[in-house]
Amino acid sequence: MTAGARTGMREGFVSCEVCGLLSRPAGAEEPGHCPRCGAELEFRRRDAIQRTWALVIAAAICYLPANILPVMRSTTLTGVEPDTIMSGVVILYETGTWYLAVILLIASVMIPLAKLASLAYLLVTVQRGSVRNNRERTRLYRILEIIGRWSMVDVFVATFVVALIQMKPLMSIAPEPGVLFFSAVVILTIFAAESFDPRLIWDSSQGKQETNE
Amino acid sequence: MTENADFANVPEATHVPKKRSRVPVVWIIPIVAALAGVGIVVQKQMNEGPTIRITFPSAEGIEGEKTLIKYKDIEIGKVMHVNLTDNYTKILVTAKFEKHAEGMLDNDARFWLVKPQISLSGVSGIGTLLSGNYIGFEPGKSKVKRLDFVALEAPPPIMRDRPGREFALRADTLGSLGLGSPVYYRSLDVGDVISFSLAKDGRSMDIRIFVNAPHDKFVSADTRFWESSGIDAKLGADGLSLRTASVTALIAGGITFEAPSSGTAAEAAPNTVFTLFKDRTTALAPPQKDVRRYVLRFRESMRGLSVGAPVEFLGMSIGEVTAVGLEYSQQARDFRPRVEIATYSYRFTEHMEKKTRALQEVKTMEGRTDAIDQMVADKGLRAQLRTGSIVSGQLFVAVDYFPDAPKAKIDKTQDPPEFPVVAGKMAELEDKLNNFVAKLEKVPVDEIGNDLKKTLATLDKTLQSADRAMQSADRTLTRVDAETLPEAKKTLEDLRRAITSAERVLSSTDNTFLGPDAPAQQELRDALKEIARAARGVGVLTDYLERNPETLIRGKNKENP
């Protein structure tokens, strides 16, 4: 079933990931370099699945402390108060700015989680040689690449706030370890998305289906 | 070995292509992430302090996940939840204690709620106005660990590590004292009242005070405490003397202590019980030791003698009256007043010059008692009632020398011994009056009356003859009238004529002096005008002064004439 997919690799060609030129590989083991732009050619990204899995798992591990540990600590006259991401969402919601709460919830909690879940889904389907919804999965991958970086907004805000609000006796804000884990999650998912090779999605699919599409 | 060996059997080494390591380096990333995560969890677990439960009477200002537990102003815990206890009467606070402070959670540890307090004696916990109430904590000294606590109803008055000593005072009433009332030593605030309670029998107040180190060493076994809340005014021969404590003590009450000047006693141990006196005078009164009791049997009225009245020896207080009553004498079959006194014989020697040989003789109580016995027997030492104040009629017992008194001595067969008495000053006065009346009675009033009668009769006769003399004089005067009056008439007429002629002379002189153009008249008029002007001037001046009386002192204001 899975053997029927018609891909460039199977036809004996390799495409350049940089300039897109289709060329004949120099050898079966080492495809060599692109004759046009000189970039190193690969049939498929090396160890894409393992590498992506590693990064996804690392990101998932970091996701827990990122949400449990406080991201920053605000010191005011009334005392010291640590804030986690979720407590920030709750405070924004309770103070009436629900739209900001929604933005924060989506950008900082849901998108990283959605990215992790999507990557895991892609990896599992590729490993199982699934042939269904190839187009949708490719689209999902594209979306992942685009929105992933927006999660960094949270980190930016935190760093801005820490730098700006330093009115020492009245109020000051200091970063807490949570923000480190949070940026680790964002960066690791970006790398994970990068290391995944969407061409793998098509490797196991029926050549016929694809051409017919 | 041998040259012709067969090499055909030597196997050929196989070429195995070098395999790339199967596990890519990228797996280090999740391992590091996992390690970091595990590290944080472990660290959290390690830093996780114990969870404690504190029962509070009310949850005033305690908020879950917010209220802090503080010790010496640093945070050592945080309230997690606030719930009602199972029987809904109290508040159960669950709190997370910091790991580093775990060792302080022992059996004697105390928790209480810190909230702003404003009272007369001070303001505390102002910081909580901003930060909200917090839970105060103080570790105990016990070795037994504990996780369930019952909070104190109020902050403890003193911290356990506060250096100083605690003492107990017994007072009749609490007066104006309260928690935190200051304790003064030489007007310096050295401590405060930390608790008070009614004694078990309800007859006195037990007040506990704390005196801070290093001033606690001034509290010695003979230190006197008194309430310094108020003004102590005394009008004496040397004028009015006023003693006040600080304004705080005036308002909030306070306790002052002072050691008697002769005090050489050792420092008082903690928790020593002292008496709290009402004022400085009673507090610093000499101690009542070496008490010797006597009974006095007077023959006179006890009106004005009350328990507590002084017993004075040559004007010096040596004791007091302890009982005034009646007793029935079986021999005489009558009731008699009976007065009991307590004397402090050490006061005889208290102010004697030191180190004289005479002092040695009366240094001991026995020596003094012997001396007193001697004085009673030989010198006529007696007790007597005297009036202390003529206005109020208060009596006191005076012990004095009466050399003429009949021989007597202290009757030691009784308990307490009977001290001989002499009649009081009032009784003496009565005697004297009686004598006077007796003498009066001896006066021969009847004879005097008869004599008087005779004298009066003689006087009557004399008066009658005087009357007769007066009548003859009257007649003489009538005669004189008849003979002398016509002559006098004539003389008067002559006089009138003389006056008429004088009148004429005068009218001629009038023209000179009294005519409208007479020079004298003119001058007189001028003079009168001057006087009128002067009078107007005075009028103006008085008007001005009435309006501006201050000019008398300040002078006339130039800008506002």
Q: What are B178-233's pLDDT values in tens digits?
A: 777 888 888 888 888 888 888 888 888 899 899 988 888 888 888 888 887 666 66
Task: Tell me the nearest-neighbour CA distance from B131 into chain A, angstroms.
Answer: 4
| Chain A residues within an 8 Å CB radius of B30 | 54-55, 57-58, 61
Average pLDDT for consecutive 10-residue bins of chain A (213 residues)? Answer: 58 78 75 80 76 87 86 77 84 86 85 88 84 82 79 77 79 84 87 81 58 38
pLDDT of residue A212: 38
Which pLDDT score, from 0 to 100, does residue A213 have? 37
pLDDT band at B261 (very low <50, low <70, confident <90, very high): low
User: If you ran DSSP here, which 8-state letter would residue B528 be given?
Assistant: H
Q: Measured between alpha carbons, how far is B442 from B440 in angstroms, rounded to an integer?
A: 5
pLDDT of B463 strictly over 70 = yes
Does A77 sit within 8 Å of B33, measured CB to CB? no
Q: What is the mean pLDDT of residues B347-371?
A: 70
Distance of CA A114 to the CA centre of its chain: 9
- Any A CB within 8 A of B74 CB: no
Answer whether A50 sits within 8 Å of B26, measured CB to CB.
yes
* Same domain? A195 vs A101: yes
Tell whether B414 lies on the interface with A, counting CB pairs under 8 A: no
From the CA of A169, how many Å to the nearest CA of chain B?
A: 14
Checking if the pLDDT of B526 tops 80, the result is yes
Residue A161 domain boundaries: 47-207
User: CA-CA distance, B58 to B91, in Å (whole number)?
Assistant: 6
Is there a single domain that holds both residue A34 and residue A71? no
The mean pLDDT value for B258-264 works out to: 68
The answer to whether A195 contacts B33, with C-beta atoms less than 8 Å apart, is no
Q: Are residues A139 and A34 in the same domain?
A: no
Identify the pLDDT of residue B411.
82
Q: Do B29 and A79 touch (CB under 8 A)?
A: no
Average pLDDT over residues B67-87: 87
- What's the rounded mean pLDDT across residues B63-81? 85
The string over B375-390, giving b where at least 16 C-beta atoms fall within 10 Å of a residue's C-beta and e elsewhere, is bbeeebbbbbbebbee
Residue in chain A nearest B129 by alpha carbon: A78
Span B407-432, average pLDDT: 80
Range picked from A23-37, A131-145, B81-95, B424-438 for highest mean pLDDT = B81-95
Q: What is the mean pLDDT of chain B?
A: 80
A115 shares its domain with A173? yes
Asked if A114 and A200 sit in the same domain, the reply is: yes
Residues A84 and A177 both lie in one domain: yes
**Chain A positions touching chain B (beta carbons under 8 Å):** 47, 50-51, 54-55, 57-59, 61-62, 64-65, 69, 77-80, 177, 181, 184, 188, 195
The answer to whether residue B122 scores a pLDDT higher than 50 is yes
Q: Which of A144-148, B113-117, B347-351, B431-435 has the lowest mean pLDDT?
A: B347-351
Residues of A in contact with B24 (CB under 8 A): 47, 50-51, 54
Nearest to A61 among B33, B66, B132 (CB): B33
Pair A38, A51 in one domain: no
Do A37 and A7 belong to one domain?
A: yes
Minimal Cα distance from A62: which residue of B?
Answer: B33
Q: How many Cβ atoms sit within 10 Å of the Cβ of residue B559?
A: 4
Backbone angles phi, psi at A171, to 5 degrees: -160, 140
The more confident residue out of B357 and B61 is B61
How far apart are alpha carbons B297 and B334 in whole angstroms?
13
Stretch among A183-187, B35-39, B207-211, B362-366 having the lowest mean pLDDT: B362-366
Distance CA B317, CA B388 (A): 13
Least confident of A204-213, B53-62, B278-287, B500-509: A204-213
CB contact under 8 A, B29 and A55: yes
Residue B101 is given by DSSP the state: G
Q: Which residues of A touch B26 (CB under 8 A)?
A: 47, 50-51, 54-55, 195
Do both A54 and A154 map to the same domain? yes
Q: Is residue A70 part of a domain?
A: yes
In B274-301, which positions are buried (b, 16+ CB within 10 angstroms) versus exposed (e)? Answer: bebbeebeebeeeeeebebebbbbbebe
Percent of chain B whose pLDDT exceeds 90: 2
In a domain, A11, yes or no: yes
Residue B18's pLDDT is what? 64
Determine whether the interchain pair B33/A177 forms a contact, defined as Cβ–Cβ distance below 8 Å.
Answer: no
Section B456-471 average pLDDT:
90
Distance CA A64, CA B43 (A): 15
Q: Which residue of B18, B19, B27, B126 to mutate against A (max A Cβ within 10 Å)?
A: B27
Partner-chain contact A58 B36, CB within 8 Å: no
Q: Do B26 and A57 touch (CB under 8 A)?
A: no
| Structure confidence at residue B499 (pLDDT) | 87
Enumerate the residues of chain B whose CB falls inside 8 A of the CB of residue A195: 26
pLDDT confidence band for B2 (50 / 70 / 90):
low
Touching A: B residues 123-152, CB under 8 Å: 130-132
Residues from chain B contacting residue A79 (CB–CB below 8 Å): 66, 68, 131-132
**What phi and psi values does residue B145 have, to the nearest 5 degrees?**
-80, 155
Determine whether the interchain pair B33/A51 forms a contact, defined as Cβ–Cβ distance below 8 Å.
no
Is the Cβ of B68 closer than 8 Å to some Cβ of chain A?
yes
Q: For chain B, give the percent of residues with pLDDT over 70.
A: 84
SS3 category, B198: strand
Looking at the complex, does the CB of residue B27 fall below 8 Å from at least one CB of chain A?
Answer: yes
Cis peptide before B337 (omega within 30 of 0): no
pLDDT band at B105 (very low <50, low <70, confident <90, very high): confident
Query: Does B552 lie at the interface with A, CB-CB under 8 angstroms?
Result: no
B18 touches chain A (CB under 8 A): no
Instruction: Let me know if residue A212 belongs to a domain.
Output: no
Scanning every residue of chain B, which has its alpha carbon at the shortest distance from the alpha carbon of A29? Answer: B17
What CATH number does the domain containing A187 carry? Answer: 1.20.140
Please compute the mean of the pLDDT values over residues B274-293 and round it to a whole number: 75
Inspect the interface and report whether the beta carbons of A55 and B26 lie closer than 8 Å.
Answer: yes
Predicted confidence band of residue B4 (pLDDT cuts 50, 70, 90): low
Of the candidates B32, B37, B131, the beta carbon closest to that of A64 is on B37
- Among positive and negative, which fits the CA dihedral A154, A156, A160, A162? positive
Q: Distance from A54 to chain B by nearest Cα, in Å?
A: 5
Residues A2 and A79 placed together within one structural domain of the fold: no
pLDDT digits (tens, 9 = 90+) for B293-338: 888 888 888 888 888 788 888 878 788 888 888 888 888 888 888 8
Q: Which of B266, B326, B272, B331 is nearest to B302 (CA)?
A: B326
Assess whether A5 and A73 both reside in one domain. no
Report which secondary-structure segment, H or E, holds B164.
Answer: strand B164-171
CA-based nearest distance B16→chain A, Å: 15
Q: Omega of the bond prior to B416 within 30 degrees of 0, cis? A: yes
**Structural domain includes residue A56:** yes
Inform me whether the pLDDT recorded for B3 exceeds 80.
no
Q: What is the pLDDT of residue B283?
A: 76
Give the number of domains in chain A.
2
B interface mutation test: which of A61, A67, A86 has the most B CBs within 10 A? A61
Instruction: Indicate if ipTM > 0.90.
Output: no
Are B36 and A62 inside 8 Å of each other by CB?
Answer: yes
**How far is A130 from chain B, CA to nearest CA, in Å?**
24
Closest CA to A78 of B67, B73, B135: B67
Q: Is B511 helix (H, G, I), strand (E, B) or coil?
A: helix
Cβ of B26 and A65 within 8 Å? no
Predicted local confidence at residue A209, as pLDDT: 46
Mean pLDDT, residues B153-173:
83
Judged by CB atoms within 8 Å, which residues 47-66 of B form the interface with A? 66
pLDDT in tens, B367-406: 777 888 888 888 888 888 888 776 777 788 888 888 888 8
Residues A71 and A98 in one domain: yes
Structure confidence at residue B22 (pLDDT)? 64
| Cross-chain Cβ contact B24/A62 below 8 Å | no
Quickly list DSSP for B22-88: SS-GGGHHHHHHHHHHHHHHHHHHHH---EEEEEES--TT--TTT-EEEETTEEEEEEEEEEE-TTS
The more confidently predicted of residues B159 and B200 is B200
Distance between B283 CA and the closest CA of chain A, angstroms: 50
User: Is A8 a domain residue?
Assistant: yes
SS3 B196: strand
Split at pLDDT 50, 70, 90, the class of B557 is: low
Band (pLDDT 50/70/90 cuts) for residue B120 is low
Q: Are A51 and B40 in contact (CB < 8 Å)?
A: no
